[in-house]
Structure 1
Amino acid sequence: MLLRFRSFMIAFSIVLALAPFSGIAAAALLASTLGCEINDAAMEPCTAHGIDFGPLLTDLLLTASLGQIAFLILTAVLVVWTVIEVFALLARTWQRDRGAVVKR
């Protein structure tokens, strides 16, 4: 049960941290489909089917900054989690070895 929870939390954290990058992929796919250019410095007009997709493309492209922050937070959490897991493993090993010595 605990291993399943750990696996779920790691997978959920990775998906959560990488989700903003899907906005960049969606913006690139939409822009190439509509034949528009993406400019991260200014909003480019992109009209298709009577709808201006420029603001949507700009908003999707700006999720990259959120992705950078989320990726750094995920890295920090995974490093802290790894340290805690290593200490827990060392404590279990030390306790098991100490129990084997006492039983003799």
Structure 2
Amino acid sequence: MRWPGPEQVLEAVRLWAAERKREVASLRQIGVFGSYGRGTASVGSDLDLLLVDAAAEGPQHQRLRRWPLERLPLSCDALVLTPDELHSLLASGSRMAAELKRDLRWLG
């Protein structure tokens, strides 16, 4: 068994993101953060994904049902936000805001 390299994972995520953008008109952006955003991913790293969906509503567990995360090459923690929610989060001064400002890498 072989763990995929970071560039292999990011390329698979870019392809996945391009498919989602073709299928979902309300999808604005997809980005990675955490170790893949920082460029420090290694064996055992999971994928932290941010999806900006203008039509997102309801709690996170309902928002996530729309996205076929199982098609990604490894385990994924995803966050689905509307553009306004992302703007508010980034302006909040929270630890999560600081992490996103530091590590977020938009795909495509």
Q: TM-score, normalised by structure 2?
A: 0.26
Structure possessing the higher radius of gyration over alpha carbons? 1
Q: Indicate the structure with greater strand content.
A: 2
Q: Indicate the structure with greater helix content.
A: 1
Higher relative contact order (CA closer than 8 Å, sequence separation 6+): 2
